[in-house]
Structure 1
Amino acid sequence: MQSRGFSLVEMLIAMLLGLLLLGFTVQIFASLSASSRQSQQLAQLQQNGQLALNLLHNELQNTGFWGGVSLNDIAGAQVGFAPPGPDCREDGLDSGSFPVAGEVFASLYAKVAVSGRQLNCLTGLAPESEILQLKRAIGLAVSRDELRPNRFYIRPHWQQSRFVHQDSSGLTADDVFYPYQHLVFYIQPQRLDDLTVPVLMRKRLVRSASGMARIATDSMIDGVERLHFEFGIDANLDGRLNYMLPTQLMSNEHWQQQLGHIVSIRFYILLRSTLPDPSYINRQTYQMGASRFDAPDDHYRRLLLAGSVYFNNATF
Structure 2
Amino acid sequence: MAHAARGFSLIELMIAMVLGLLVVAGLINLFVANRKAYQVQSGNNYLQENMRIASDRLGWSLRMVDFWGGNKAVGVTVDSSASATVTDNGDCDGNWATAITYSTTGGGGIFGYNGAASPPIDSTCIGGTANYVPGSDVLVLRYADPQVLSPGPVPVAASTITGNADRIFLLSTPGNRAELFAGSVPAPQPNATLMRYAYPYQIDMYYLRPCNVMTGSTCTASADGGQPLPTLMRMRLSDGNFVSDPVVDGIEQLKIEYGEASAATGMAPEYHSADNVGNWADVISARVSLVAVNPVRDLTVPHVATYTLGNCTYTINNGSAATTTGCAGFKPYGDKPWQFVRASQQFVVQLRNRVRG
Give a deviation string over 1:205-238, Cα, whole Å, max 9, x none.
121xxxxx11011111121112111111123389
Match of 2:251 among 224, 231, 235: 224
Identify if the C-alpha distance between structure 1 residues 237 and 176 changes in structure 2 by more than 3 Å, giving closer, same or farther.
farther
What secondary structure sits across from 2:61 in the alignment? helix
Shift of the 242–42 alpha-carbon distance from structure 1 to 2, 3 Å rule, reads closer
Shift of 1:265: 0.7
Distance change (3 Å), C-alpha of 1:99 and 1:115: closer
Residue 198, structure 1, aligned to residue 230, structure 2 = yes
In structure 1, the partner of 2:332 is none
Residue 177 to residue 221, structure 1, CA distance change in 2 (3 Å): same
When residues 171 and 300 of structure 1 are mapped into structure 2, their CA distance, relative to the original with a 3 A threshold, is farther
Q: Which amino acid aligns with 2:295?
A: T
CA-to-aligned-CA distance 1:226-256 (integer Å, 9 cap, x gap): 2111111123389923411123x425x534x
Query: Is the Cα–Cα contact under 8 Å of residues 132 and 208 in structure 2 kept in the other structure?
Result: yes
Q: Greater share of helix residues, 1 or 2?
A: 2
The aligned counterpart of 1:129 is 136
CA pair 171-276 structure 1, distance change in 2 beyond 3 A: farther
Question: What residue is the counterpart of 1:210 in the other structure?
Answer: none
Cα–Cα, structure 1 residues 55 and 269, in superposed 2: closer, same or farther, change >3 Å? same
Q: Alpha-carbon deviation of 1:19? A: 5.3
1:114 aligns with 117
Name the structure 2 match of 1:138: 145
Verify the 8 A CA contact 2:68 2:178 in the aligned structure 1: no
Task: Give, in angstroms, the shift of residue 60 of structure 1.
Answer: 0.8
Which letter does structure 1 place at the counterpart of 2:56?
N
TM-score, with structure 2 as normaliser: 0.70
Q: Shift in Å at residue 140 of structure 1?
A: 4.8
- Which residue type is aligned with residue 85 of structure 1? D
Contact kept in structure 2, 1:205 and 1:216, CA below 8 Å: yes
Q: Give the aligned partner of residue 78 of structure 2.
A: 77
Question: Which one of 253, 276, 286 corresponds to residue 250 of structure 1?
Answer: 276
Q: 1:4, 1:16 → 2: CA distance? A: 18
Partner Cα distance (1:238, 1:13) in 2:
81
Per the alignment, residue 288 of structure 1 pairs with 309
- Counterparts of 1:237 and 1:145 in 2: how far apart (Å)? 47
C-alpha separation in 1, matches of 2:116 and 2:142: 19
Shift of 1:127: 1.6
| Distance across 2 between alignment mates of 1:113 and 1:220 | 22
Once residues 237 and 171 of structure 2 are traced to their aligned partners in structure 1, the CA distance between those partners, rounded to angstroms, is: 17
From 234, 256, 268, the equivalent of 2:289 is 268
* Cα drift, residue 40 of structure 1: 1.1
* Residue identity (%): 20
Q: Give the CA deviation at 1:306.
A: 2.2
Change (3 A) 1:241 1:117: closer
1:175 to 175, 178, 196: 196
Of 134-143 and 194-203, deviating more is 134-143
Asked if 1:154 is matched to 2:170, the reply is: yes
- Contact 2:148 2:199 (C-alpha < 8 Å) held by counterparts: yes
Alpha-carbon contact 2:47-2:293 (below 8 Å) kept:
yes
Q: CA RMSD in A?
A: 3.5
**Counterparts of 1:108 and 1:100 in 2: how far apart (Å)?**
9
Contact 2:78 2:181 in 1 (8 A): no
Q: 2:343 aligns with which of 299, 303, 311?
A: 303
Normalised to the residue count of structure 1, the TM-score between the two structures is 0.79
**Count of aligned residue pairs for this structure pair:** 299
Given the superposition, is the C-alpha separation of residues 98 and 145 from structure 1 closer, same or farther in structure 2, using an over 3 Å criterion? same
Q: Structure 1 residue 286: deviation in Å?
A: 2.5
Q: Contact 1:65 / 1:313 at 8 angstroms: preserved in 2?
A: yes
The amino acid of 2:279's aligned partner reads: H
Measure, in 2, the Cα distance between the counterparts of 1:140 and 1:96. 24
What residue number does 1:28 align with? 30
Q: Cα 1:95–1:293, aligned 2, differ >3 Å: closer, same or farther?
A: farther
Q: For the Cα contact (< 8 Å) 1:152–1:206, is it kept in 2?
A: no
Q: Distance in 2 between matches of 1:12 and 1:36?
A: 36
Q: CA deviation at 1:32?
A: 1.0
Unaligned regions of 5+ residues in structure 2, if any? 213-222, 317-321, 323-336
Q: Could you say what secondary structure the match of 1:68 adopts?
A: coil
